[in-house]
Amino acid sequence: MASLTVHGVVKSYGSVTALSGVDLTVPAGVLAAVLGPSGCGKTTLLRCVAGFERLDAGEVTVGDRRVAGPGLHTPPERRRVAIVPQEGALFPHLSVAGNVAYGLGRAARRSGRVDEVLALVGLAGYGERMPHQLSGGQQQRVAVARALAPRPPLVLLDEPFSALDAGLRAELRRDVREALRADGATAVLVTHDQGEALSMADQVAVMRDGRIVQAGPPAQVYGQPADAWVADFVGEAALLPGTVHNGVVATPLGELATTGGAPGAATVLVRPEQVEVLPEPTGAAVAAVITRKDFFGHDALLALQLDGGGEVSARVFDAAAHQLAAGQRVGLRVRGPVLTFPN
């Protein structure tokens, strides 16, 4: 178990800058997620940490060992940083046990470590199988077991669940997190799926255009996003124009309480779960029309057009609200204080 420190890392390919000064700190034993849209440089960051790419500037430290920096490039095999690639990349000519044992010394192979990690990922007894005899999810479990087997201080996961179906993904996420915890490994997960990042990680770093724009615990990144872009990227959000004065903000949804925020014009963040939907547009409620309804079973997401202009979405959970349909007129109320970002 070791901490990871990335400081000021720059990497470009010709005229394309993939990383423009990345700073990231992951304490020992923590599972961190690097979350960002496609092409933001998150996979490049992973490859730089693993040692497959040389840095143009900056440095990478694993534990107390500097592995990359000015004039220093430790080759991948000496970094003790294991990687789980997107598609698993199992060695097709080796059995499951052979794959898992690949990074182990002779003594460690005999010590039963292979069976131990296979059990850890829920594949006890699969050692003799060949990779092509496994399902996609099982292959990915083997890839995780192979990475964990030599007890690396740091494990990197490159969108390891993106090729799997939703049900399998949720189950595998839980199992992989348990396996990582059980082994005490520090891990960095790269993903573009905000649900995956928020649910799996102890710490989330949001990346955009080759830079980390915000890092912190999932609840903090979701609840106090650094700017409107992060707010929109980490979850469903309605961004409305507003004006802040005296602790309240005037918006198309009425005057709402806000925490802090400098007076003046601002962008107001309203999360769907903050919006309460009343069957009738009565009293203090703001009138709106339902334009779309996405039903998920356990809840439903409504898209709403405000009479005063602007659009918001609302998440509704109770059975009564599920009767609502597109085209219906309703009243809206906002629960709790909202966040504002000065323009």
Partner 1 sequence: MAVGIAQLPLVYLAVRTIETARQRGIADLFTDRVPALAARSLALAAVVTAGCVVLGVGSAFLVTRTDLPGRRVFGVLAALPLAVPSYVAAYAWVAAVHLVDPLFGFEGFWAAALVLTLCSYPYVYLPAAAVLVGADPAAEEVSRSLGRGSWRTFTGVTLRQLRPAVAAGGLLVALYVLSDFGAVAILRTDTFTRAVFSYFNFGLSRPALVLATVLVALTLLLLAGETATRRRGARYARVGGGTGRPASRLRLGAARGPALAALAAVSALALGVPAVSLIRWFGEGVSRPGSLSEVSSATANSVGISLAGAALTLLLALPIGLLVARVPGPVSTVLDRLSYLPHALPGVVIGLSLVFFGINAVPRLYQTGWLLALAYAVLFLPLAVGAVAAAAAQAPPELEQVARSLGRRPIAVFRTVTLPLISPGIGAAAALVFLTCMKELPATLLLRPTGMETLATRLWRHTTVVEYAAAAPYAALLVAIAAVPTWLLVSRAGVLSKGGD
One-letter amino acid of 153: P
To the nearest whole angstrom, how small is the minimum distance from the Cβ of residue 86 to partner 1?
A: 8
Q: Which is nearer to partner 1, 136 or 331 (CB)?
A: 136
To the nearest whole angstrom, how small is the minimum distance from the Cβ of residue 283 to partner 1?
A: 54
To the nearest whole angstrom, how small is the minimum distance from the Cβ of residue 170 to partner 1?
A: 20
Q: How far apart are the first and last CA of the chain?
A: 43
Gap between the Cα atoms of 314 and 304, Å rounded: 8
Q: Which is nearer to partner 1, 50 or 244 (CB)?
A: 50
Q: Which is nearer to partner 1, 99 or 251 (CB)?
A: 99
To the nearest whole angstrom, how small is the minimum distance from the Cβ of residue 240 to partner 1?
A: 41
Q: Which is nearer to partner 1, 190 or 204 (CB)?
A: 190
What is the 3-state secondary structure of 299-326?
CEEEEEEECCCCEEEEEECCCCHHHCCC
Q: Do 334 and 253 contact (CB within 8 A), yes or no? A: yes
Gap between the Cα atoms of 123 and 334, Å rounded: 48
Q: Which is nearer to partner 1, 63 or 150 (CB)?
A: 150
H/E stretch holding 182: helix 166-183
Q: Which is nearer to partner 1, 36 or 85 (CB)?
A: 85
One-letter amino acid of 182: A
Burial class (CB in 10 A: 0-12, 13-18, 19+), 163: middle
**Sign of the Cα pseudo-torsion (260, 265, 267, 272, in order):** positive
To the nearest whole angstrom, how small is the minimum distance from the Cβ of residue 113 to partner 1?
A: 13
**Sign of the Cα pseudo-torsion (305, 306, 309, 312, in order):** negative
To the nearest whole angstrom, how small is the minimum distance from the Cβ of residue 183 to partner 1?
A: 15
Q: Which is nearer to partner 1, 69 or 76 (CB)?
A: 76
To the nearest whole angstrom, how small is the minimum distance from the Cβ of residue 82 to partner 1?
A: 5
Gap between the Cα atoms of 188 and 46, Å rounded: 8
Q: Which is nearer to partner 1, 80 or 192 (CB)?
A: 80
Interface ranges with partner 1 (CB under 8 A): 50-52, 75-83, 85, 87-93, 102-103, 131-133, 136, 139, 146-147, 149-150, 156, 163
To the nearest whole angstrom, how small is the minimum distance from the Cβ of residue 152 to partner 1?
A: 8
DSSP letters for 193-260: -HHHHHHH-SEEEEEETTEEEEEE-HHHHHHS-SSHHHHHHHS--EEEEEEEETTEEEETTEEEEBSS
Say which residues have a Cβ less than 8 Å from residue 156's Cβ, sequence separation at least 6. 46, 49, 50, 81, 82, 83, 84, 187, 188, 190
